[in-house]
């Protein structure tokens, strides 16, 4: 398992955090309980199984929900 911190372009509203969390939680390989989006910091943190999903796939789901990814960091869990 790996922990990801994904930084986003400034979020327009607090509702955006809900959209992002729903998009990421829907992905196979993501620990659903670990997904936390932070409006004030324009970032999302999560734990995922890199054997089932890639960071790029997670970023793509965020982009598809209408939000721009600016940077990502991964660390072993």
pLDDT, tens digit (0-9, with 9 covering 90-100), for 7-57: 999 988 889 999 999 999 999 999 999 999 999 999 999 999 999 999 999
Alpha helices in the chain (DSSP H): 15-25, 55-64
CATH of residue 37's domain is: 3.30.70.100
User: What is the number of residues in the chain?
Assistant: 77
Domain around 38: 2-76
Q: Is the pTM of this model over 0.85?
A: yes
Strand, helix or coil for residue 46? strand
By C-alpha distance, which of 2, 23, 19, 10 is closest to 75?
Answer: 2
Distance CA 29, CA 50 (A): 7
Count of structural domains, the chain = 1
């Amino acid at each position: 398992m790996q922990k990801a911190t994904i930084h986003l372009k400034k979020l327009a509203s607090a509702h955006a955090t809900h959209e992002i969390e729903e998009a990421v939680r829907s992905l196979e390989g993501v620990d659903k309980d670990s997904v936390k989006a932070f409006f004030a910091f324009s970032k999302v943190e999560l734990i995922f199984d890199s054997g089932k999903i890639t960071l790029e796939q997670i970023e793509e789901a965020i982009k598809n929900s209408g939000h721009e990814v600016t940077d990502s960091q991964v660390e072993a869990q």
